[in-house]
Amino acid sequence: MIILAVLLVGLPVPLFVAVDRVVYHFESRDTFCIACHLHERKYKEFTVPPGQEVSLAARHHTTNKVRCIDCHKGEGVWERLGVLTIAAWDTIIYFLGMHEEPQHMRFPLGNATCLKCHQKDLVPKGAYATKYHDLTPHANLPIRCPECHVAHPHGDPKLDFLVQARVIPICQRCHPTMFDAAALATPFPLLVTTMPRGNAPAL
């Protein structure tokens, strides 16, 4: 009985490690991912010369050789377990001929995924800085990086691929009067430089 209990408690850990190693062996190649996701046409967006990118994901790939799995692996045991569970289910329905390409992530990326490389970009510089990440009051807001920095939709490289239609509503959670009808028609950099101060709730 004791041996059985030890096996039941101890087996999941080496089993998880073994499965993770096998799956990661395949996932580490982008060609494996595009067999089911993105497909060749979409993947070509990632292989353009630097300066011709149309999405944030493409910029990461061309400038730093970031692979699919570098962002989609899941950080920590629980995130990784969640990713593996979804991947297992997707594999089953794919071979049953029931697979449809998801329109959004069912297991959203957490900040830890981005902070592996971008921790140095999140150093607050005070309450009167001009960039979002430099403003001290923004440091502890419960906003995930990918809520603003979406990776795959096309965007303007001059705006670091920020999609105005996504970012503005997020700003308005705390700054409800930040953008009026006239401001919404202006280019995004102007919206940033004309941000009114003092109308956000205390944090």
Helices (H), strands (E): how many in the chain?
Answer: 12, 0
Residue 198 φ/ψ, nearest 5 degrees: 95, 0
Q: Which two tokens stand for residue 44?
A: 């070509």
List pLDDT tens digits, range 48-59: 888 888 889 899
The residues with which 44 forms a beta bridge, in sequence order, are: none
Q: Averaged over 2-25, what is the pLDDT?
A: 54
One-letter amino acid at 196 equals P
Residues 6+ positions from 29 with CB-CB distance below 8 Å? 67
CA distance 155 to 164: 9
CA distance 126 to 45: 38
Q: Is the pLDDT of residue 7 over 70?
A: no
Q: Is the dihedral of CA 80, 86, 89, 91 positive or negative?
A: negative
Question: What local confidence, expressed as pLDDT, does residue 194 receive?
Answer: 39
One-letter amino acid at 191 equals L
Question: What local confidence, expressed as pLDDT, does residue 4 receive?
Answer: 37
List pLDDT tens digits, range 133-190: 777 778 788 888 888 898 888 888 888 888 888 888 888 888 887 776 665 666 554 4
CA distance 103 to 178: 30
Coil, strand or helix at 67:
coil
Alpha helical stretches, state H, the chain: 2-10, 12-27, 30-33, 39-43, 56-64, 68-72, 76-95, 111-118, 145-148, 164-171, 181-184, 188-193
Question: What local confidence, expressed as pLDDT, does residue 6 receive?
Answer: 43
Spatial contact of 26 and 32, defined as CB atoms under 8 Å apart? yes
Instruction: Supply the angle between the helices 12-27 and 2-10 in degrees, to the nearest 10.
Output: 30
Q: What is the mean pLDDT of the chain?
A: 74
Q: What pTM value is reported for the model? A: 0.69
